[in-house]
Amino acid sequence: MAWQDRFSLTGKTALITGASSGIGTAIAEVFAEAGADIAGHGRDAGRLEQLGARVTAAGRRFVPVTGDLADTGETEQIAARALEALGRVDILVNSAGIALTGPVVDYDIADWQRTIAVNLTAPFVLARALLPGMMARKQGKIINISSQTGVIALQDHAAYASSKGGLNALTKSLMTEAAPHNVQVNAICPTVVLTEMGKQLWSAPEKKDPFIARTPLGRFGEPVEIADMALYLASPASDLVNGAVMMIEGGYASV
């Protein structure tokens, strides 16, 4: 198999949550360029329509899917609609996430519950719905977009860090069940990525400057850099990679 084929997604189908913005949008675009048909989930129907136009311009199918990932019933319906529209889901990318930050002593329990629901429970529910088909076909990929904060501590990120640390643990546990059926489950842990959410949370110099100074590479990430790693994990090139928690954070966790 030529190297181009090892990184190709031709003939594959993917459900990508959070596809209407940021990292999810970049992953959908890169996957479509690599040959995959896309079911793109998001909260912004207008942005999904724009993404769909770009995916179809690349010659691939696009199915928009909306629903609140904080609601387990709606999350189950997201999986069902993707399966109905695409016929099967070969690749699940859990990219949707929320970051409601603040000190624990003042933190609203409703924000904690919603953070865990969207960032951790929804990936579990989607995996539960889609793994049986992947296992039966003896082929599939689940990619969880986690965070370096699931591995190292950041101030005022208790809820977010807990959800991402849990997602890393879920990744490894799912792997033990999926690997015997030739299904790969991995997580990506990015640094701050310059999405709209990343810019909003990290634009203040008093937050941004010390963080960048602490990062050996000296910068934040771009959405396409995360999408390129997701492409590797979605493609045949990564078939031996399973249960990995892959850091992509400019060396922050190494010093």
Closest CA to 130 of 144, 118, 112, 145: 144
CB atoms within 10 A of CB 186: 25
Rounded Cα distance, 187 and 169, in Å: 10
CB 183 within 8 A of CB 139: yes
Q: Is 160 among the residues known to form the active site? A: yes
CB atoms within 10 A of CB 110: 9
Active-site entry in 107, 160, 232, 252: 160
Q: Can you spell out the DSSP letters for 72-107? A: HHHHHHHHHHHHHHHS--SEEEE---------GGG-
Residues with a known catalytic role: 160
